Amino acid sequence: MENAAYVALSRQMTLRRELDIVANNIANADTTGFKVEQLMVGTEIGQRARNHGIRPSASFVLDNGVGRDFGQGALRQTGRPLDFAIEGEGAFFTVETAQGEAYTRDGAFTLDPEGRLTTEAGHPVLGDGGEIILDPALGAVAVAEDGTISQDGQAVGRLNTVRFALLSVLEKGGDGLYRNTANEAPLEANDVQIRQGMLEGSNVNTILEITNLIEISRAYERASKMIENQNDLSKRAVERLGRPN
């Protein structure tokens, strides 16, 4: 296989990865708090398939990992008193899991049998003083813009919202959660507002993602055609060289 075919093959490998990411974006267009993702593509210098010392090394397409856009998603009204949305980019609710603290933009919370505020997956939501305990007998829950939770006119806790200096330290952990992979200390997010009875939608632009899907498919076809043409050229060259004089 010639150098051009190797380069085209490296591009096909990243295109298949891009296809999976874009398809996942589209599938999560209606997922609360989902953040759109994109493949980070770079260049890797590698040895040519054949090099007689007169041509430079080949440049191959490299998968540099997944980038994530943490931009604000649209807020939608739900009317549920335990639904909360963060208005402000880069901040997260804090929850407790078996693997330690995790972070989420999905504020669709509920109460467990002990009265703890939890995510839909059952992870306790953390406040300034730890777990948040609510008593249904005290009546309706009211939440101020700074996250202070009140019942019967008395403050019973405050939602802990944090941000990170480098969002790249966050890695998806399932159930809409992100985990701090670098043990970087989170910073208190005092510049955001909590909206009760609302949820944040995904920031996926469906039309743009469908357009990306079409472009990726066409690019994959072009790379396939390049490999096919290169193989045809190699085949014809071998046939001509093999003919008797």
pLDDT tens sequence across 84-130: 999 999 999 999 999 899 999 999 999 999 999 999 999 999 998 89
Residues 6+ apart with CB under 8 A from 59: 7, 43, 44, 45, 46
Q: What is the pLDDT of residues 151-179, one digit of tens each?
A: 988 899 999 999 999 998 999 988 899 99
- pLDDT band for position 54 (50/70/90)? very low
- For the chain, what percent of residues have pLDDT higher than 70? 82
End-to-end CA distance of the chain: 26
- Comparing 136-140, 165-169, 192-196, 239-243, the range with the smallest average pLDDT is 239-243
pLDDT at position 85: 96
Asked if the model's pLDDT at residue 183 lies above 90, the reply is: no
Mapped onto helix, strand or coil, the DSSP state of residue 135 is coil
